[in-house]
Chain A
Amino acid sequence: METALPVFIYVTLAILFGLLVMAVTGFLGPKKPSPEKLAPYECGIQEIAAPKRRFPVKYLLTGMLFIAFDIEIVSFYPLAILLHQLKLFGLLELLVFMAVLMVGYVYVWRKGAFTWE
C-alpha cells in the first residue's frame, strides 16, 4: 500500500481536477443558446447529411488481433524481472508460449488479416 499511495492520491487529484475544471467552466461561462449555435458546425453551411451514420472501421480486425498479442507481450514483463531466478527454464517456457502464438500470427498474416481492402 505504501508504494501505491502516491499513485492513489495522484489519480484521485487528477480526477477531481478534471471534474473541477468542468464544473467551473459550467458555472462561469456565459450561456446564451440560439438555434444557430446548437446546430452541428459544418463550415457555416447547412448540413447535408445526418451525422449519425455507420462507418466501417477497417482496422477493427487488426485491433482485435492487437489485443491478443498485447496480452502475450504483457506476460513477458514479469519474466524479464525473474529471468535470473528462473534461468533457462523460464526462457524455455516463454519460447514454447511464443512458438504457439507465432503459428497463429503467421496464420492470420497469410490469411490476409492485415491487408487493407
Chain B
Amino acid sequence: MTFEIVSFVVLAVATVATAIGVIAFKNAIHSALSLILTLLFLALFYLQLQAMFIAVVQILIYAGAIMVLFLFVVTMLASDQDELALRNQIPWQRMVGGLLGLILVAALSYLLFTGAQVTGTTASHAESLKQAITTYQGDTQAFGMALFHGFLFPFEVTSLLIVVAILGALVFGRRTN
C-alpha cells in the first residue's frame, strides 16, 4: 500500500513536471522529448494500475510511433520557430490565461477533494478491475473481454474513426499543386 502511494506521488510529480516542460521549452525538439517522457510516465501509471497491455500499447503507439511523427513535423517547421516564438500580439493574454487556469485548478481540486469526502466515494469501484483480472486470469484477457464482448459496439465504430483519420491524413498530407 505504501509503495503504491509513494510511487504514485513520484510518478504524478514527474508527469506534471514533464508535461509543463512540453509547453515551457522554447525549442520544439525539447518539447517533443519532454512529451515522450510524459507519455512514458503515463505508461508507468497504467503499469501501476496492473494494466500491462495498455502500458505496452501506450509505449508502442504514443511514445513510439506518434512521437516519430511529432519529430517529423518539428523538422519541417525548424526554420520558422524563431519568428513564431517572438510573435505575441496580445501580451496580457498569457497573464490572464495563466490566472484563469490557476483558478480552475484550485477550484477543481477543492471541489474534488471535498466531494470525495462527502460521498465517501473512494476507489471502491477500482476493485472491479482486480476482480476482472482474476476472473479472466490476466489483464490482457480482461481487457480483451471488455473490448470484444461488452464494448464491441464502440470497438467496431472505432474502425470508422480510423478510416476517417486516414482520409484526413490524405486530405492534409497530399501535396497541393
User: What separation, in Å, do the CA atoms of A34 and B44 have in the docked complex?
Assistant: 43
| In the assembled complex, B9 has its CB within 8 A of some CB on chain A | no
Q: Is the CB of B65 within 8 A of A67?
A: yes
| In the assembled complex, A55 has its CB within 8 A of some CB on chain B | yes
With contacts A65-B169, A81-B140 taken as known, whether A70 is within 8 angstroms of B79 at the C-beta atoms is: no
Q: Is the CB of A68 within 8 A of B162?
A: yes
Shortest beta-carbon distance from B40 to chain A in Å: 8
Interface string of B111-152 (1 = CB under 8 A from A): 000000000000000000000000000101101110111001
With contacts A64-B169, A67-B65, A79-B148 taken as known, whether A57 is within 8 angstroms of B76 at the C-beta atoms is: yes
| In the assembled complex, B75 has its CB within 8 A of some CB on chain A | yes
- Residues on A with C-beta less than 8 A from B66 are 67
One of A22-30, A37-45, A92-100 contacting the partner: A92-100
Shortest beta-carbon distance from B121 to chain A in Å: 23
- Residues on A with C-beta less than 8 A from B7 are 8
Interface string of A6-25 (1 = CB under 8 A from B): 01100100000000000000
With contacts A81-B144, A93-B148, A101-B162 taken as known, whether A74 is within 8 angstroms of B69 at the C-beta atoms is: no
Shortest beta-carbon distance from B177 to chain A in Å: 10
* 10 pairs of A and B residues whose beta carbons are closest in the complex: A78-B144, A61-B173, A104-B163, A64-B169, A100-B159, A82-B144, A57-B72, A97-B159, A104-B166, A4-B47
Shortest beta-carbon distance from B66 to chain A in Å: 6
Q: Is the CB of A55 within 8 A of B68?
A: no
| In the assembled complex, A111 has its CB within 8 A of some CB on chain B | yes
A-B CB contacts (within 8 Å), total count: 130
Q: Is the CB of A117 within 8 A of B175?
A: yes
- Residues on A with C-beta less than 8 A from B159 are 72, 96-98, 100-101
Interface string of B151-174 (1 = CB under 8 A from A): 010011011101101110110011
Interface string of B31-57 (1 = CB under 8 A from A): 000000000000010011010110101
Contact of A61 among B79, B147, B156, B174 (CB under 8 A): B174
User: What separation, in Å, do the CA atoms of A79 and B145 have in the docked complex?
Assistant: 8
- Residues on A with C-beta less than 8 A from B167 are 104, 107-108
Q: Is the CB of B76 within 8 A of A56?
A: yes
- Residues on B with C-beta less than 8 A from A64 are 69, 169, 173
| In the assembled complex, A88 has its CB within 8 A of some CB on chain B | no
| In the assembled complex, A48 has its CB within 8 A of some CB on chain B | no
| In the assembled complex, A32 has its CB within 8 A of some CB on chain B | no
